[in-house]
Structure 1
Amino acid sequence: MDMSVLERELNEHEKLEQFIAKIEAGDKIEADDWMPEEYRLALIKLISMHGISEIMGALPEKEWVPKAPSLRRKLGIMAKVQDEMGHGQLLLRVAEDLLKPYGKDRGDLMNDLFSGKLKFHNVFHMATKTWADAGVIGWLVDGAAIITQTNMLNASYGPYSRALHRICAEEVFHAHHGESIIMALAEGTEEQKQMLQESLNGWWEALLMFFGPASSSTTGSSKQDITIKYKIRTSTNEELRQSFFTKYIPRILSLGLTIPDPTLRFDEEQQLWIYQQPDWSKFKEIITNNGPRSQARLNLRRVSYETNAWVRDALSAVAN
């Protein structure tokens, strides 16, 4: 072997050991720090998917701005949509710093979204047919997101950790917004209660899928293993799902709602929830843009991106 190649390999090995020692000590990795490519690529995949999901996740609720039942509700859901878009932009900027060594930027991420290369969360491919659906997104989908994101508040990558502290603080308000809608419906007319139950029935499987499969063998992906290895997060998909059950099942039942899973129970011996597995083949189909509203929302995002190209061009001209 050529000595220069051997020296480079030894140097890379030394850098990796220093990197591991740094994250094991609880220190943060910054954008300009050396990092192994596996770590960089895992961050790009995670953060870009998170950022795009925030943007695509605003669209189901945006549909309900003109149809919200009162002016107060319209203002509330408009503010939430604005926040989600802001979260997306913040996260895409974090991802953009990681893309620089590859000569890519946010524009490339948007093109990856349109081509199907960049995925977004399964829940945001679903239809919002009723006002109760808007409430379920705010209460349970955002609740699931908070559980996932707080698990990464102390992520080893500093820029992502700092962004999450801001995002999670705002997501708590979003969850309260959704809970307010749910409580109003649960305490309303029989028709409203029925609408709420039907919404829960329709969203339950998607909520289980939100956290991803329990093991990498289900999808052939080792993303959760890599993110835990590098201390980007601390809990597995299944641990996060169990935390969601523990927090929300008692709350759901307290409203007089029925969870659409006759097998659901808490096993005292194992100290975990037993539940019916969702159809993971459906999950794969949905996240490859074959969900109920996948193409409609992608087309809306595509038209918006193309229509506003002049703004990006103008800003680029000023910068240059």
Structure 2
Amino acid sequence: MEAVTDMSESGKYEAFMKRIEDGDKIEMDDWMPDEYRTVLIKLISMHGISEIMGALPEKEWVPKAPGLGRKLGIMAKVQDEMGHGQLLLRVSEDLMKPLGRNRADIMDDLFEERLKFHNVFHMRTHTWADAGLIGWLVDGAAIITQTNMLGASYGPYARALKRICAEEVFHAQHGESIIMALAEGSPEQRKMLQDAIDRWWPSLLMFFGPESKDTTGSSKQDATIKYQIRTKTNEELRQSFLSKYVPRIHSLGLTIPDDTLRFDEATKKWEYRQPDWKEFKQIIGNEGPKSQDRLNLRRAAYENNAWVREALEA
């Protein structure tokens, strides 16, 4: 690898981009453009916080899960998600050190509402079917997104994702087990399941973010592709989700609340009713149904456990 310490900034950038194009992995101590570092910090911090906040809707169902086996299963899943979050925050923290920032700054950004987390984790869970649907479809959407970044140019993130994706497959299977039990259950259980799909469908479409109309390379979506952190756009990921899960939902005799949904053989793409992207911005701006409740829960937990951090620092 060519040394970059004595190069001009433009020379360093060209050498950096060549490494990416050649398939090299960028490591924590390597030189990187400011934009690359910033994009990674925002992406990985959001991903890590989303894993932690994403455990909260299911945590609510640990004491209400039907039977000991289901309680143990969802408890293990919550524990895994928290572990994913801690792993990713460590990766993000390493990137932030040269900027004089650390994990406490990430938590401050969350509590001061500067750091966003995925829209689906702002939503309310009404029934046990919602808990199963999070495991089946939300984690299914996450797997599609995360496997798209397994070849990410930043080595520490790619390696963390390899472990996370392997565990997310089990989470999706756990959710599918709950869904199958409800689908094969009583009419009341099937209705509970259909109601959950009706409630969650717009949020599932929003999960991947709006389609980018920006061709200037200035958006975060385009920057992640430019730097080969991921390879597919938001819309391409959404299309993959629809191709995988629409047939599965229909195979259970369930319906999707969108009478415009169809696969266009000419374009080889799904046509669907666009979700309300204004509502999406409100939700990720912490104006969702459970946004403030879950933020307050994290604030309280962080404050109550301050003594552990202080003891470790001492």
Does the pair score TM above 0.5? yes
**Matched AA of 1:182:** I
Q: What amino acid is aligned across from residue 254 of structure 2 in structure 1? A: L
TM-score, structure 1 normalization: 0.95
Residues matched between the structures, number: 308
AA partner of residue 129 (structure 2) = A
Question: What SS class does the counterpart of residue 263 from structure 2 fall into?
Answer: strand
Question: 1:3 is matched with which residue?
Answer: none
Partner of 2:79: 82
In structure 2, the gaps of 5 or more residues are none
Q: Report deviation, 1:45.
A: 0.4
Q: Write out per-residue CA displacement over residues 92-119 of structure 1, whole angstroms, 9 at most, x where no aligned residue.
A: 0000010011111111000100111000
> Paired residue for 2:96, among 96, 99, 113?
99
Tell me if 1:116 matches 2:113.
yes
Q: Which residue of 1 aligns with 2:254?
A: 257
SS in 2 for 1:313: helix
Q: Matched residues in 1 for 2:132 and 2:219: separation?
A: 33
Overall identity of the aligned pairs, in %: 75
Match of 2:274 in 1: 277
Which of 14, 17, 29 pairs up with 1:32?
29
SS of equivalent residue, structure 2 residue 266: coil
TM-score, normalised to structure 2, is 0.97
Query: 1:215: Cα distance to partner?
Result: 1.2
Q: How far off its partner does 1:271 sit? A: 0.3
In the TM superposition, what are the counterparts of 1:47-58 in structure 2 within 5 Å? 47-58=44-55
- Deviation (angstroms), 1:169: 0.1
Is 2:62 the counterpart of 1:65? yes
Rounded to whole Å, the distance in 2 between the matches of 1:167 and 1:247 is 20
Partner amino acid, structure 2, of 1:106: R
Secondary structure of residue in 1 paired with 2:30: coil
Q: How does 1:231-310 map to 2 (within 5 A)?
A: 231-310=228-307
* Cα shift readout 1:46-100 (whole Å, capped 9, x = no counterpart): 0000000000000000000000011000000000000000000000000001001
Gaps of 5+ in 1: 1-7
SS of the aligned residue for 2:8 comes to helix
> What is the deviation of 1:221?
7.2
How far apart, in 1, do the equivalents of 2:168 and 2:218 lie?
28
Quote the residue 1:4 is aligned against: none
Distance 2:180 2:210 in 1: 31
CA distance in 2, matches of 1:99, 1:153: 22
1:223 to 205, 217, 220: 220
Q: CA RMSD in A?
A: 1.3
Q: Counterparts of 1:161 and 1:11 in 2: how far apart (Å)?
A: 29
Contact 1:155 1:233 in 2 (8 A): yes
